[in-house]
Structure 1
Amino acid sequence: MPVSVYLRTPFTDLTGPTVNCQFMTICSKMEMKAINCVEAYGEDRAQTKCKALLEDLYECVTKTKQMARVLEMKMEREKQISQGVRGYAEGPAHDSFQAPTTL
């Protein structure tokens, strides 16, 4: 979550905007909405007024909930395989992949 800068120097002014999602990423529009909201309300009030936008941006960048869902699906799949409810999927045929060519 964005927090206000406690120690402001020319170095922090120079390096502050280098970490963002504006370079053609999935989260760039979401970050722009969050930045506009923070600019409208200020950094202190934005923690309450823009909480939903900031949480969505944090999830978009870190993907913690998505990784938790994937882990849960993997655990459920392994549990079903160990109980015998389902089996492992068949692998592809040996000649189905083309070997990478080298120059």
Structure 2
Amino acid sequence: MNNLSPFFSESKTTGLCAGVRTAQRSLRCRDFELQFFDCLQAYGVDNYKSREKCKDYLEDFYECMDAQKAAARWRMMVWKRQKEYLLGKRSKEDYYPEGTLDGSYLGAKPVH
């Protein structure tokens, strides 16, 4: 990969693709990315201290971008609900918990 770096650094498309690898267009995750880069700026990029101090910021940023922990939590809830159904602890009617409309989109009153 080192022999390809001059090609990429001198390419005409680098200016066009400069913002592709950042999350600044994402309204949801841009603050997490900025916090991580602020931490790197404070502690340095290539040392052990920055990896240790900025680990939580990086994990928060990755979770915002990929939502792997949220997806794993959802899969675990589905698995547990299915297991309870198969063991007879849940009936078919109560397989899915009944939601409430208080404060949800469907139950909200229009604001005029």
Q: Could you tell me the TM-score, scaled by structure 2's length?
A: 0.62
Hey, what's the Cα distance between the residues in 1 that align with 2:24 and 2:93?
Answer: 40
Q: CA deviation at 1:69?
A: 0.7
Q: Quick one: higher RCO (CA 8 Å, sep 6+), 1 or 2?
A: 1
Aligned to 1:68: 72
Gaps of 5+ in 2: 95-112
Q: CA deviation at 1:20?
A: 1.9
**Sequence identity of aligned pairs in percent?**
31
Aligned to 1:18: 20
Within a 5 Å distance, the mapping from 1:1-103 to structure 2 comes to 7=5, 9-11=9-11, 14=15, 15-45=17-47, 46-89=50-93
Q: Could you tell me the TM-score, scaled by structure 1's length?
A: 0.66
Gaps of 5+ in 1: 1-5, 91-103
Amino acid at match of 2:27: T
**Number of aligned residues:** 85
Q: CA deviation at 1:42?
A: 2.6
Amino acid at match of 2:35: K
With 17-26 and 77-86 compared, the bigger mean Cα shift is at 17-26
Please provide the CA RMSD for this pair.
Answer: 2.4
Amino acid at match of 1:37: C
Q: CA deviation at 1:41?
A: 2.5
Hey, what's the Cα distance between the residues in 2 that align with 1:48 and 1:71?
Answer: 30
